[in-house]
Amino acid sequence: MSASTTTLHPAALARRPTGRRNYARQYWLFAMPAAVVVVAVILFPWLFTFVMSVNDWKVSGNVYFVGLGNYEHLFHDPRFLWAVVRTLYFTTAAVVAPMLLGIWAAVCFAENFKLRGAARTIFILPMMATPVAIALVWTMMFHPQLGVLNYLLSLVGLPPSSWVYSSATVIPTLVMVETWQWTPLVMLIVLGGITSLPIDPYEAAVIDGANGWQMFRYITLPLVWPFIVVAAAMRIIDALKAFDTIFVITNGGPGTSSETINMLLYQTAFGYYDLGYASAMVVVFFALILLLSGVLLRMRKWEHGV
Amino acid sequence: MIGRRTLLASSAALLAAPAIIRTVHAQSTFDWKRCKGQRVVIALTKNPRADCLQQHQKEFEELTGIRVESEQMPEQQQRPKMVMELASGRPSFDVTHFSLHVSKRVVGTGLWLEDMRPYLANPALTAPDYDWADMSPGALRAATQPDGRIDSLPLESDIWLVYYNKQLFQQKGLSFPKTFDEMLATARKLNDPASGTYGFVARGVKNANVPVWTSILLGQDQETVTPDGRTLLTDTPGAIWAGEMYKSLLRECAPPGVIGFNWNECQTSFMQGKVGMWLDGVGFTPPLLDPKVSKIVDHVGFGVMPAGPKAQACPVFTDALGIPVQSKAKEAAYLYCQWATSKQMLLNLVNMGAGASPRLSTYQDPVLMKASPFGQEWLQTLLASMKIARSGLPEIVPVNEFRDVIGIALSNMIGGADVAKELHAATTAFQPVLAQSLKT
């Protein structure tokens, strides 16, 4: 390791008058406001959450230190363990489906065709709607007897579905809502990447006799990969924190069939008023998010390899 | 010449005069303006009772000179918001509207609300015609904490009953069932999935479904916990019988997807005329008789909860108003609570169809008795139900967790799970939670 990173000549450093103020030592004054904000709004809540998680902390009761008792309970609580499984299932499906459809839509919208602008505008409309409002509309459409979706199925000769009113179909149905709403976002990000690509590689590929799939696989995909990773990162974060649509449409039901970690910890904190146990869930959930972030970082490295 | 109508009206006025004079005199001696110029913030739970209070709010402001700022919030948000704000020690409201069957013990344990007894006993603060003793014994019991404190005033007693579609019953030549066994048999006869007609509907979604099961359980003359609130009675033979009945009614005779139905989905299905019976609270009556939204306006019947093998009882759930101990306008807030739970306001509430009044005098009102807003069958069902009303949920601190744990078991039963195993597992899972809640 080099001894110094300065570009000043050592002689110049040696000549510096000892009586002059060293401004470098006062930089902390400028960083202080930001540091205070970070401590107040990020670090303190986290520390406080951790403190709550090691206590038996009920809203209307006394507070008792229980050490890792809440964490121990967590790993023996089947409701929590199933919530983790459901969160991962929901997140995987709610990332993969919009990603595939969004990339496909971006490739389509990159082509020139009539009314392309109008089609794009219509395509991104779901993304602009308020999640709670669209959740209420979907809830009405899912009604097994009176909802429009089963009526549409009957028009094409298909049997009715129970949609969110069945344990077997509730998560796929919620993923369908997420996909409907967030595919446009993926499309916009990937389309931005595609439109910025140079056309030379495609011209060369055409001369070499490459077909459409080969051009997509070996030119488009590697070049827009950074955009895809960004879209995937945003989707993972969104899907992990999904709460509003699930809360409005199913509230975690039927039974606990759509109870993700978010739903369970909300219910534990604000339904059962057990803040200590809910805080332990938050800490474990945070660890899970860190783990997934690590996977994403790996993907970034792989992207550089590509 | 004096007409017959004029004569009748004059006679009625003459007969009513002493009572009116007494009331006016009582009112005139009580100073409703003692808190004039103050401001109170009211946190209401969104429901027809809150609509009634807001509709008449101006009358209170004119009577007292107190400025009222009231806000309605859906109960799913209002309940945790109220508890969190009270626990924080800095509530943003002077009066809170809450469900005693959900939050009674949690607010009672926290000692967050004013004890109303000194206020009720103070003639300077309580109008002579308020008549606390007029509250029904059930409502008084619901508003009283185990330590004797009365930290809320009852606003409404939501009686549960059975709505039924008279047209579907007539088509099959059926009469309203008197017992739960008859109810199941009737539901099976009405059930015809091929034509999209179903015999019965009630809440299947977890948590909300528990009062349906307890409605049946009361027919075993049994509640969900022992009177001391320490031991669960949720896997007894009576509880299993109620679970089997719940399972049969909802699994065999209800519309597909009922496992995810809350009251609103049930109401929507019933209003379309394709469901024979719906078991739920009396507060949901008005939309059923509104031609703009209901297809069965002329066919809605009201029936008292059927009898079980050991008893006939219906569950009752009480709404109430309380004042945070940190409120800076306690006297003004108490005047609001007193006005909201007065005889006239609770009569207004019943006339609006917003629920059942906790006051006995409401059901002696001659106008109401003669011209009930929803017909005599509705009124008679309400009166009969009041006589057999019992608490529909246990009075314990973790009542929400109780409703979730038992509710999940009930949802699983609709899915086909074994009733005894589910109830036993739920009881085993919840008993430690109950024990823990008694320690803190």
Residue A5 in any domain: the answer is no
* Residue in the structure block whose two tokens are 């609580």: A77
Residue A43 in any domain: the answer is yes
Distance from the B398 Cα atom to the nearest Cα atom in chain A, whole angstroms: 6
- Structural tokens at position A80: 């929590």
Task: Please indicate, yes or no, whether residues A107 and A60 belong to a single structural domain of this protein.
Answer: no
Find the mean pLDDT for residues B267-285. Answer: 94
DSSP bridge pairs for B45 = B73
State which H helix or E strand residue B39 sits in.
strand B39-45
What pTM did the predictor assign? 0.83
The Cα A251–Cα B414 span in angstroms is: 18
The whole domain housing A269 covers 71-305
* Minimum CA–CA partner of A255 in chain B: B408
pLDDT digits (tens, 9 = 90+) for A107-150: 999 988 999 999 999 999 999 989 899 999 999 999 888 899 99
- Structural tokens at position B79: 């309940």
Q: Decide if pLDDT at A6 tops 60.
A: no
Best of B151, B293, B401 to disrupt the A interface by mutation (most A CBs within 10 Å)?
A: B401
Task: Please indicate, yes or no, whether residues A25 and A147 belong to a single structural domain of this protein.
Answer: no
Residue A8 in any domain: the answer is no
By mean pLDDT, which of A99-103, B20-24, B98-102, B180-184 is the weakest? B20-24
Task: Please indicate, yes or no, whether residues A177 and A49 belong to a single structural domain of this protein.
Answer: no
Last residue of a domain, one of A68, A99, A127: A68
Q: pLDDT: is A302 or A285 the higher one?
A: A285
pLDDT for res A31: 87
Of B80, B257, B272, nearest to A162 by CB-CB distance is: B257
Of A143, A166, A170, nearest to B265 by CB-CB distance is: A143
Task: Please indicate, yes or no, whether residues A58 and A132 belong to a single structural domain of this protein.
Answer: no
Sort out which chain A residues have CB atoms less than 8 A from B415's CB and list them: 167, 254-255
What's the number of domains chain A is made of? 2
Task: Please indicate, yes or no, whether residues A140 and A187 belong to a single structural domain of this protein.
Answer: yes
- Structural tokens at position B383: 């009166």
Task: Please indicate, yes or no, whether residues A58 and A88 belong to a single structural domain of this protein.
Answer: no
Domains and CATH numbers, chain B: 29-158+317-389 (3.40.190.10), 160-315+391-439 (3.40.190.10)
Q: Decide if pLDDT at A5 tops 60.
A: no
Bond into A254 cis (ω within 30): yes
Of B205, B257, B397, nearest to A144 by CB-CB distance is: B257
Asked if the Cβ–Cβ distance from B259 to A254 is below 8 Å, we say: yes
Q: Please, what is the average pLDDT of chain B? A: 91
By mean pLDDT, which of A169-178, B309-318, B377-386 is the weakest? B377-386
Q: Decide if pLDDT at A18 tops 60.
A: no
* Minimum CA–CA partner of B196 in chain A: A145
State which H helix or E strand residue B159 sits in.
strand B153-165
Residue B411 contacts residue B262 (beta carbons within 8 Å): no
Those residues of chain B whose CB sits closer than 8 Å to some CB in chain A are 76, 80, 83-84, 87, 106-107, 109-110, 196, 204-206, 255-261, 265, 268-269, 272, 274, 397-398, 400-401, 404, 408, 411-412, 414-415, 440
Task: Please indicate, yes or no, whether residues A53 and A117 belong to a single structural domain of this protein.
Answer: no
pLDDT digits (tens, 9 = 90+) for A60-91: 778 899 999 999 999 999 999 999 999 999 99
Task: Please indicate, yes or no, whether residues A59 and A32 belong to a single structural domain of this protein.
Answer: yes
Sort out which chain A residues have CB atoms less than 8 A from B274's CB and list them: 145
Q: Are strands A55-57 and B300-303 parallel, antiparallel or unpaired?
A: unpaired
Domain with residue A216: its CATH number is 1.10.3720.10
Task: Please indicate, yes or no, whether residues A95 and A55 belong to a single structural domain of this protein.
Answer: no
Sort out which chain A residues have CB atoms less than 8 A from B435's CB and list them: none
| Confidence at A19, pLDDT banded by 50, 70, 90 | low
pLDDT digits (tens, 9 = 90+) for B206-248: 999 999 999 999 999 999 999 888 999 999 999 999 999 999 9
The Cα B335–Cα B340 span in angstroms is: 8
pLDDT for res A177: 96
Sort out which chain A residues have CB atoms less than 8 A from B83's CB and list them: 59-60, 270, 273
Asked if the Cβ–Cβ distance from B84 to A62 is below 8 Å, we say: no
Buried b (16+ CB within 10 A) or exposed e, A194-213: beeeeeebeeebeeeebeee
Last residue of a domain, one of A37, A68, A99: A68
Best of A248, A256, A272 to disrupt the B interface by mutation (most B CBs within 10 Å)?
A: A272
- CB proximity list for B251: less than 8 A, separation 6 or greater: B413, B414, B416
Task: Please indicate, yes or no, whether residues A123 and A200 belong to a single structural domain of this protein.
Answer: yes
Residue A7 in any domain: the answer is no
Buried b (16+ CB within 10 A) or exposed e, A87-106: bbebbebbbebbbebbbebb
Asked if the Cβ–Cβ distance from B274 to A59 is below 8 Å, we say: no
Task: Please indicate, yes or no, whether residues A29 and A116 belong to a single structural domain of this protein.
Answer: no
Last residue of a domain, one of A45, A68, A91: A68
Sort out which chain A residues have CB atoms less than 8 A from B412's CB and list them: 255
